[in-house]
Each structure stands twice: as structure tokens, then as C-alpha cells.
Structure 1
Amino acid sequence: MTADDDTAAHLPAPGRRDILEAAATAFTRNGYAATTIDDIAREMGATKGRVYHYYRAKADVFLDIVTAGMQELIDGIEPIAGNGGLDPATRLWRMAHHHAGLMMTRNSFQRVAMRAVEMRRLGEAPAQQQALETVIAMRDRYEQIFADVIDEGREAGEFREVDSRLATKPLLGALNWISLWYDPQRGDYNTCQRLADEYADFIVGGLRRSPR
């Protein structure tokens, strides 16, 4: 199985994927609270019956977007983090670059995935709570992947003596914020590459050991 095949295996089925793409756009435009199932269906050019065929509630759609968004991030950085042929600083740079790129090229999807504060407003249905616990576990796993590479860099003398788990907070905070301010309608491929380069340089540069 190729990396692309493995990523595809984690993605929602095509019927659900179409709904999630439409819902991500609607949630980004209107906010979670103001978006209705009718809005999602309208965004697809379909009836709400098509949405209800796959989902019982709006909260379930939201949680599926968050889960799929997190999986997309994990699938992208795991191969980079595990590439023992690269030094830790290079791996961290490429991980940050990939994350920054997704915040721009998958803007609506990742913007919704980053809106964890709105997850607290979801219902108390057991299935939703189970999905929420899954999302939290995925986020912890994602942070740990970054922390492990930072630890490797610290042990190799590339990075300063830092608390790796603590260091992931401002690192990912800066990257995630891109999804909130970046306007995909005004950017292009070259803009995305330049911004991702600058963010990756900034992150790795901030962790490097200062020359004595």
C-alpha cells in the first residue's frame, strides 16, 4: 500500500466527503451555531434528505470534519517525522511546512477542525462524546509527534533545552492561526509556498541552540 493509498483509507467515503466539504464551507461562512442542515444541503445543491442519509445531527457532521481534518494532518506529517535519513531540524521544518500548507490549501476544512472551542457546545449524545474523545486523543497524538522530533533535536544538540510538549503549544498555535487569517481567494501557489517557508524558518529558528 502506498502512502497515498493509506491516506485515502482514512478519508470518509465519497458520499460523506461531499457533505463534509460543503459543511466546512458553510461552517466557515456562517459559524457553527448559525449553520443548519438546510444550509449544508444548499451548499451541495442537494436536499437535506441526502445529509440525513449519512448524519443524524449537525454536531455529527462537525465532529466528522474535525476528525477528518486531524487525520489529514497526521497522515501528512507521520512519514516526515519517521524519516530517519533526515536530521531532526530538517524533519521539523518539513512538518511545519506541510502543516502551514494545509492551513492554506484546505482552508475551510482546517479552519473548522481548529475551532475546538465550539466543540464544547455540542450535545451530550454518547456517540458525539465518543467522537469528541477520539478527536482529543488524535490531537494529543499529533502534538506528541512534534514533541518527539523536538526531543530528538535537543538530544542531538540542534535545539535548545526546552520542554518539548510545552514548545508544541506556541508552535502549533502559530501554524493553526494561519487558517483564520489567510484568504484563499487572494493567494496562489507561490504565495502559499513563500508563507509556508517563512513559518517553517521561524519555528525551527526559534528552537535552534544559540551560537556561543
Structure 2
Amino acid sequence: MTANASAQNSLEHSLVEEGQIEILRMAAQCFMTRGFASTSIDDVARRLGSTKGRIYHFFASKADLFFAVAEVGMEFNYAAIDASLKKEAPAIERLRDMAFAHCMSMIETQAYQHSVWQGVEIHLRGSTTPEQRERLNALIESRERYSALFKTVMEEAVRDGHIRYRDPSIARQLMFMALNSPIFWYKPRPGETAQDRRRIAQQCTDYALAGLGDPAAAERPNA
């Protein structure tokens, strides 16, 4: 097992019931490669090497399974930044650590995070049932609460004079665009190490924070 798989496995076992882990993992891969609309329970069952009945034992429908994947994706993110958020340190240091941890989550739980992104897209299109809309609203609210954690630390770092920006909402959106980007382009390479992934996340983090005026991010040499 690679370090990447080991990190994801540890998170899954801390957040998901044992019988659901493999189902959610395979479903996340299917939703990432085929998209929600083109993925069927049959597709997940084939990837799982099991029957549809095993999936339906835990999940009532494809939508139920999809939302579970996306919700676990958000739980991964909260877990990733928890230690940094609670750290006794200046705001700028907490922000750097939170941004890096978030980007690592995008890499290490990429398939789950792709479902979070798809959930946002589905929410924006609005073509859902009332039950789906309720789950989507909860997902969006979870993302907003998560974003608000960064907002609080960013505002403190501004007051401390360590970063600067004109519009806080735009600044936060642009920061997350950089930090979230591995969802779309990251692919594990043969022989890749945990340090390689940390280097990728650090470059994304530096790029995001340099845009906020963090001098340490702008001056860090390329590794």
C-alpha cells in the first residue's frame, strides 16, 4: 500500500462504518471517472467485484450513494485542518498550515473531493428532486461553514498586517481555486513518494497565499 493509499485508508476508517468503506471508495472512483449522470449502481458493483445487493444494503439509491461520498469528502477536509485550526500560533501560520492541509486533502482524497465539486455543480443547475435538493443544501452549507473557518483566520491575519486583499469574498474564492486545483489535474506518477505529494501541495499553497500578499509564500524557493 502506498503512503497516499495509507493516509486515505486511515481517514476512511475514522469516519466511515466498516461495511461501507470499500463501497464508498469504489463509488468515488466511478463518479470521478464517469460523472454522476453516467455512473450506475451496476458500474460501482462491477468495480467492487460484488453484487448490487451489497450496495443497496447500505444505500437506497445511486443519489444516496453519491451524497454519502460527497459528505465523507467534506468530513475529510474538516479532519485535515482541525489540528492547524486549533494550533496556538499567529494567524498567518495557522492559515499557511490550513491551506497546505486542505490541498493535501484534495490530493489524498481526490476521488471524494471530485464528488463534492460535482455536488456543487448539480446544486447550481437545480435539476434535482426535493429529497436531493435537501441533501445538496446540506452539502453546500457544510462547504460554507468550512470556508468560514478560513475566513476567520484570514481576517485575523489581515489585522496582524501579514496579508492583504481588497474583497474578502473574491480573495477566498481565488485562494480555494488554487488549493482545489489538484482535484482536476493531479495524477499519481510511478514511483511517486509522500514527499513528492507534499511538494505539489506546497507549491499550490505558496501560489495561493502569495496572491494574498504573504511574503513567505512569494519568496519561498522552488523545491
**Superposition TM-score tier, normalisation by shorter sequence:** 0.7 to 0.9
Task: Report the Cα distance in structure 1 between the residues aligned to 2:14 and 2:134, rounded to whole angstroms.
Answer: 18
Aligned residue in 1 for 2:54: 50
Taking CA–CA contacts closer than 8 Å with sequence separation of 6 or more, which of the two structures ends up with the larger relative contact order? 1
Range moving further from structure 2, 64-73 or 113-122:
113-122
How much has 1:78 moved relative to structure 2?
Answer: 3.0
Q: Name the aligned partner's letter for residue 105 of structure 2.
A: L
Q: Name the aligned partner's letter for residue 16 of structure 1.
A: Q
Q: Name the aligned partner's letter for residue 103 of structure 2.
A: A
Task: Report the Cα distance in structure 1 between the residues aligned to 2:68 and 2:168, rounded to whole angstroms.
Answer: 29
Secondary structure at 1:54's aligned position in 2? coil
Which sections of structure 2, spanning at least 5 residues, go unmatched?
1-10, 216-223
Residues 111-122 of structure 1 aligned to structure 2 (within 5 Å): 111-115=114-118, 116-119=120-123, 120=125
Task: Report the Cα distance in structure 2 between the residues aligned to 1:69 and 1:124, rounded to whole angstroms.
Answer: 22
Aligned residue in 1 for 2:44: 40
Task: Report the Cα distance in structure 2 between the residues aligned to 1:67 and 1:51, rounded to whole angstroms.
Answer: 17
Q: TM-score of the superposition, structure 1-length normalised?
A: 0.86
Q: Percent identity?
A: 30
Aligned residue in 1 for 2:135: 131
Range moving further from structure 2, 38-47 or 110-119:
110-119
Residues 187-202 of structure 1 aligned to structure 2 (within 5 Å): 187-202=192-207
Range moving further from structure 2, 197-206 or 147-156:
197-206
Secondary structure at 2:94's aligned position in 1? helix
Compared CA separation, residues 49 and 130, structure 1 to 2 (3 A):
same
Aligned residue in 1 for 2:3: none
Which sections of structure 1, spanning at least 5 residues, go unmatched?
1-6
Residue-by-residue CA offset, 1:71-114 (whole Å, 9 max, x unaligned): 1101221331232x211111111111111112112221222222
Compared CA separation, residues 121 and 41, structure 1 to 2 (3 A):
farther
Whether the 8 Å CA contact 1:100–1:199 is kept in 2: the answer is yes
How much has 1:125 moved relative to structure 2?
Answer: 4.3
Aligned-residue Cα RMSD (Å) equals: 2.2
Does residue 99 (structure 1) correspond to residue 102 (structure 2)? The answer is yes
Aligned residue in 1 for 2:7: none
Residues 1-212 of structure 1 aligned to structure 2 (within 5 Å): 11-83=15-87, 85-115=88-118, 116-119=120-123, 120=125, 123-126=128-131, 128-186=132-190, 187-208=192-213
Residue-by-residue CA offset, 1:38-92 (whole Å, 9 max, x unaligned): 1111111110001111111111111111111011101221331232x21111111
How much has 1:19 moved relative to structure 2?
Answer: 1.2
Aligned residue in 2 for 1:4: none
